[in-house]
Amino acid sequence: MRVVIVSDYDSASKKAASIIAKEIRSKPNAILGLATGSTPLGTYKELIRMHKKENLDFSRVRTFNLDEYYGLAPNHPQSYHRFMEENLFSKVNIKAANVHIPDGLTKDVGAFCRRYEEKIRRSGGIDIQLLGIGRDGHLGFNEPGSSLGSRTRLKTLTEETVRDNARFFSKTEDVPRLAITMGVGTILDARKLILIATGEAKAEAVRASIEGSVTAQVTASALQLHPSVICVLDEAASQLLTKRDYYKYVEKIAESVESEARI
Ligand code: GLP
């Protein structure tokens, strides 16, 4: 696991975007796993800038999003469909047919989730999955107790997650209690993973995920099982890591060594 600690949110966003851009440039038909929440906004902004100013081409890129609120229509202002459209897809040259986000209105959840998994498999699998982290250490909407082998399915959100996400809705009662999310097992199948975490509020979740035991109670701790993970943290999110100085030292030593294998 590579832990990169940068000064602030902007540097973390630029770092994550540069890794994704590198993937797209080396594989123009790359399959990206994408995330929502406030954390990846800066990364998307930087990718849009690279598309406009540096010819980053999304015309053959395919994407699969981690999750969607159950019960929200794609055009609902708080749906993850709308979020992705407004913050990335409408601003780059991606084809609508190449975008996949769980359908929050599906009538047959089980069949939909099986098809979503099948589509990921048939596309060749996700090359690089972008991840944020919830304050309880969740990835996607894999709340504490989610099996580390779980696949795409319906999950019940914890009260804490409902409260955290209420800031995007006019009132807490409007936040859906259920979501369709890729499972931890689905996420671990991606060839590379990038986790971005910034701000003090994420420090404990980051500590538990990177330096704690692997447990279904903190689903991001499953990242420790993956051979190719890069965690991009700002100073505030990294403050509880006991080996923080070592991670910084490793990056410094390795700066001169340009190797894909390090991710
Ligand atoms: C939601 C999303 C997660 C995201 C988390 C944190 O629960 N399903 O994918 O990581 O929020 O969001 P934020 O980046 O706004 O802190």
Q: Which neighbouring-strand residues pair with 230?
A: 2, 194
Name residues of the chain where pLDDT drops below 70: 258-263
pLDDT in tens, 80-90: 999 999 999 99
Tens of pLDDT, residue by residue over 133-159, are: 999 999 999 999 999 999 999 999 999
Q: How far apart are CA 66 and CA 193, in angstroms?
A: 12
What pLDDT was estimated at residue 260?
52
How many independent structural domains does the chain possess?
1
Q: Who contacts 184 (Cβ-Cβ below 8 Å, separation ≥6)?
A: 139, 142, 146, 147, 148, 149, 150, 219, 222
Give the span between the Cα atoms of 25 and 93, in whole angstroms. 14
Residue 5: per-residue pLDDT: 98
CB 143 near ligand 1, within 6 Å: no
Closest CA to 137 of 238, 13, 222, 78: 222
Residue count of the chain, please give it: 263
**Which residue range is the domain that position 75 belongs to?**
2-262
Residue 254 has what pLDDT? 82
From 13, 38, 39, the mutation candidate for ligand 1 (largest count of ligand atoms within 8 A of CB) is 39
pLDDT reported for residue 255: 78
Q: Which of 23, 68, 127, 136 is catalytic?
A: 136
Please tell me if the CB atom of residue 232 comes closer than 6 angstroms to any atom of ligand 1: no
Active-site entry in 23, 68, 143, 189: 143
Q: Could you tell me if the CB of 187 is within 6 A of ligand 1?
A: no
State the CATH number of the domain containing residue 214: 3.40.50.1360
Query: CB of 102 closer than 6 A to ligand 1?
Result: no
Q: Which two tokens stand for residue 172?
A: 């807490």
